[in-house]
Amino acid sequence: MRGARSFARVVAIARKEIRQLLRDHLTFGMIAGIPLIQLTLFGYAINQDVRHLRAAVADGAGTQAARWLVADAGASQVIDVVERVATPTELEALLRAGRVSVGLAIPRDFEARLRRGDRPLAQLLVDGSDPIVLGAARGLASLPVARRFGPAAAAAPGPPATFEVRAYYNPERRSAMQIVPGLIGVILTMTMVLFTAIAIVRERERGNLELLITTPVRTWELMVGKVVPYMLVGLVQVSLVLLAGWTIFDVPVRGSLVDLYLGGACFVTATLTMGLLVSTAAQTQFQSVQMAFFFFLPSILLSGFMFPYDGMPRAAQYLAEILPLTHFVRIVRGIMLRGATLGEVSRDVWPLFVFMGVTLTLAIARFRKRLD
């Protein structure tokens, strides 16, 4: 009899929990949403077989044979030529700014090399900060020479390397060189969104919102006041990761620390405003954490932190461009590893301002100084 009563009480509590779960639409949606998102991202968007790397060409020869070589490299689907410049120096500038991952430099004596059957015929300048990208580019080094180049070129003696590969920024292929800079953005995304995601909800749960309602503080003043302290916290976290990366993993900062902190401040503010938007939608701190995690998961998978951006399908790349972490990973790797200036990576700075403006505007519009 006692066991039957205990079982009945357990069943009653379980029914109550099920009813609460069904009434909490956000939690119920997360139960189905998170597995589906993970399955979609890992099965569709994440691809280790990197192709269609953005490439630029500096054709010093300007001959038909040189154009054939560029066409053959593009036909391999390893690279997509998106820009053409005059000199290898300009290729290096594009690599430093992160606008391309591969530079194809064809020398002026290309025709003479073909006639003599020399190898290599040209150079591949590769952004080696991502070892996966470097590995994909190395596969292009032994690109077969077509018969149309002539019998001397097709039957050249020696090693079959058509391209000499020059790896920039991380020639040792150390994983820490890629991971540590991106980890700054991942840590900031996780902490900054969570900090402000619970900011408004915490005021409501503690009853402090009633006091705020009776004050003359305006909505935008409240939002900005919530953000400012955490901006300082975010910059402290940047300093800690930089110090640890330098002392433990020997990861350098080749660019300007001022540029790095300015880019970090833009990113921190953008993620904080996203947290504010979450806090205006959530009713409890638990819901805030759920929604923050819902934002964090696609950010870490699609930003290029773990998996190469160029390996993703076009639809996944469009989604990644919305996420602040995608742009900050490019900024921080550009400044730390490639020695780029903030101006050279400005194409990834202005999207942070756009994201910041949109999310802050939505947060202000959604928040009302009312208990309901």
At residue 103, the pLDDT reads: 93
In this prediction the pTM is 0.82
Is residue 55 within a helix (H) or strand (E), and if so which, with residue range? strand 53-59
In this predicted structure, the answer to whether residue 143 has a pLDDT above a threshold of 70 is yes
The CATH 3.40.1710.10 portion of the chain extends over 53-168
In this predicted structure, the answer to whether residue 371 has a pLDDT above a threshold of 80 is no
Burial class (CB in 10 A: 0-12, 13-18, 19+), 235: middle
At residue 46, the pLDDT reads: 66
In this predicted structure, the answer to whether residue 342 has a pLDDT above a threshold of 70 is yes
At residue 155, the pLDDT reads: 46
Write the pLDDT tens digit of every residue in 229-243.
Answer: 888 888 999 999 999
The span from the CA of 323 to the CA of 274, in Å, is 10
pLDDT-based confidence at residue 106 (cuts at 50, 70, 90): very high
In this predicted structure, the answer to whether residue 154 has a pLDDT above a threshold of 90 is no
Distance from chain centroid for Cα 137: 20
3-state per-residue secondary structure call for 303-327: CCCCCCHHHCCHHHHHHHCCCHHHH
The span from the CA of 291 to the CA of 281, in Å, is 9
pLDDT-based confidence at residue 7 (cuts at 50, 70, 90): low
In terms of Cα–Cα distance, which of 168, 135, 83 is closest to 308? 135
Write the pLDDT tens digit of every residue in 244-297.
Answer: 988 988 888 999 999 999 999 999 999 999 988 888 877 777 778 878 888 888
Pairing label, strands 102-106, 122-127: antiparallel
The span from the CA of 22 to the CA of 25, in Å, is 6
Identify each DSSP E strand in 131-242 by its residue range.
Answer: 163-168
At residue 369, the pLDDT reads: 52
At residue 43, the pLDDT reads: 64
CATH number of 53-168: 3.40.1710.10
